[in-house]
Chains A and B, each alone.
Chain A
Amino acid sequence: MKNLDLPVVSFTAEQNKFRKEVRDFLQKELNSGSFISHADSWMSGYSSEFSKKLGQQGWIGLTWPKKYGGQERSALDRYIVTEELLAIGAPVASHWFADRQSGPLFLKFGTEEQRKFFLPKIAKGECYFSIGLSEPNSGSDLASIKTKAEKVDGGWLVNGMKTWTSGAHHSHYAITLCRTSPPDEKNRHAGMSQFVLDLSAEGVTIQPIQFLTGEHHFNEVFLDNVFVPDEHVVGEIGNGWKQGMEELAYERSGPERILSTFPLLQEAVEYLKEQKDINGLAQALQLVSRMWSLRNMSIGVAQMLEKGEDVSLTASLVKDLGTIFEQTVAETVRLLIDSTPSVTSSKLIDRLMAESVLHGPGFTLRGGTTEILRGIVAKGVLAK
């Protein structure tokens, strides 16, 4: 059996100072009313002004080379920024995917022109990306996608449809997975490629899908003879599946898989503390013990990712445990405090509770469902 120990990371004094700098900045922004805290803010909190402010601070693309607008800081510094943003419930949805995975994708597989063109804009908080994977008939079984790209002079002609595309109505581009050669029953993962799809291009129609709260997060994206120039192919034609899978490690192990409901937990703990409710607080702190352990794990994975180690199994573990933890927060807190959850409530805890309950089911679906993740883990351990 594979050793399941992950590295233990101690933040340096410098990193702690950096954390404080980020935290003070965010607190000031919150106090000045530049944003209000939301649960699940990395999916629902859109604010291009706020993203630009973060860009000015240099906190988007933090780890990227300076020549592309980055700061060449460590993955742990980035971890600090992202978890501080989530803990305070800041509106980070606009730039989230670009910072988390599209940028790194360009760095790993992109051309020099692509890096020079996209990365500085992303780092400024001005250029946003969506993820075009899912289709109406291809969810968990992603390899069955039908959207196809055909070679034409100077580029590719894309036809098909993507769905559940978070933020497509805010984003400038979507990294879109397409079939570039017909399905091969012997190798289901062959023949797919990644493209940078300009969401304002001719032939792209974006239609909102109303979220169950009535909000507008995700979309249907219809692609009708959309021309994508050759310069917008990411990596190699035919290598799309493998490239996409590498993105998943970033996608599955980060603090956003633990902290989506943290603003609620924090409010609840404050409340229980004020009430001097020892029993209630004890139950909440048991959640904290889970969260602390999960955070240790997630930071360990971040460290391994930076060293280029294989984390596909451990990233799946973090996402499985973390997203269930996020749901459990709402389920536990509702029994500890007196709340009438409502998304329109002026009482913070009621609103956070409502957001946490209503967004909750999505946590264990988006980015790979719990069932799929468990299959990956089981196959991983059985193979050893």
Chain B
Amino acid sequence: MADFETPEMKEVLSTPKLSRGATEHVSPYVAKPDHQEKLGFPGELVENFEEVAINKMGDLLGKYRGFRVFLDSCVKCGACTDKCHYYLGTTDAKNMPVARQDLLRSVYRRYFTFSGKYFPKLVGARDLTKEVLDEWHTYFHQCSQCRRCSVFCPYGIDTAEISMAAREILDSVGHGQKYCNEIIGKVFKIGNNLGLPEPALADTLEGLEEEIKDDTGVDVKLPLDQEGAEVLLITPSADFFAEPHIDGLIGYAKVFHAAGISWTMSSYASEAANFGMFIGSYENMRRISRRIRKAALDLGVKRIVFGECGHAWRVAYSFLNTLAGPWDFLDPKYPVPQHMLELTHSLIQEGKLNLDKSQNDHIKPTFHDSCNVARASRMGNKPGGQFEIPRAVIKSVCNNYVDMEPGTTHEATFCCGGGGGLLTDDLMEIRVKGALPRMEAYKKVVENNGVTNLVAICAICKAQFTKVMPYYGYGMDSIMSAHQLVSNAIVLPGQGEETAEPVEASEA
């Protein structure tokens, strides 16, 4: 299947012996000048890169308290060394979170601290050379910014923040990553990561409406650019075409329909994902976010709801108010933004959905907590709602729910291995190996409990598992959307009657 070996699945949470340079050859493509320039970065590596990079580092040190505090505070206790799925899957020493930080910390010390300036050997400080830049490009793209290390660090040191800063510095010297930067360019030009223009999008949605009609006999709409709708749905563009994402989108549409909530999507802001976060660029992240603000204003909606996506929910929940707020023109009765699962959950609580759980009796699901949802956001009013609400929704539409091993779920969840801008073919080896800890935990519930499917609420997780689960001997359709289960169980008003009449006047 590939020129590397899929790691062997062992005990859940076992720690391997370290090796050196095991994945030093896995480095993503460097961005082309065209990709770079669209984002306001130099096209190719600038000649005085050392000076530019160090200036940029100084700039970031002044702008981000976390970056500075994290670089100063690490005591090399080693608590994080066995916490990263990339270390566990590759055994490469530089994939231990603290070792990854040290790739950058060594340069910080050299240029910004007394000890590094005068005693570089003593404190492990080094000059910034082209080799160092290449090493950054490699290992800061073997980090999915999942924050698992941060949970376990006594000072909360978040390697994700260091990775973001490193990528921002790489971009600023003209040495960006092709995958992320090309995609961000598409969002600016067309409105989504896929580069799907409005007519194609409209076509796709129409096709889905027909599919639902064939399945249920009910006219469920998937409206696009409909002014005056109550809800603007922002969903990852993978929901428009990829499996199993699309079944999730059908699920959202059925929920809106059954609850009688008028809604619309936007062709201008047809993307929930925000890769600006992955490259650590506040400006790009902000620019992408403000498309949502513009769409909400133009369409005159009252609420904003986000579909299933991990990092998108982080940007939405944690940053959207900062980047594109204030949201004083929206209905204050609802949180801005709201997660689709929060919405479905409250409708279930209010008894507004008619659910037939037995429709999912052939499925025994377990739930994969997506890292960005688990460790960088919340759902509902209480801390930990991001764990309870998805599980509550799954349990109300399905009889057979099973959880994976503690220590691999909730705040300690393992990344799918493809997050943080790594979901690209040139990083396949690292993606497969990074999925190891999750696959080990999944294997255990498959063998012990007869689990049949892995349910996720993230577009990247879904795409990643579709690709990598076959390496571990599981079918690509093992992975499901949470709203796919909802979609299976929901009984629409009028469904099952011979002559189905559309009942929702507000949808017209």
> Do these two chains really belong together in a complex?
no
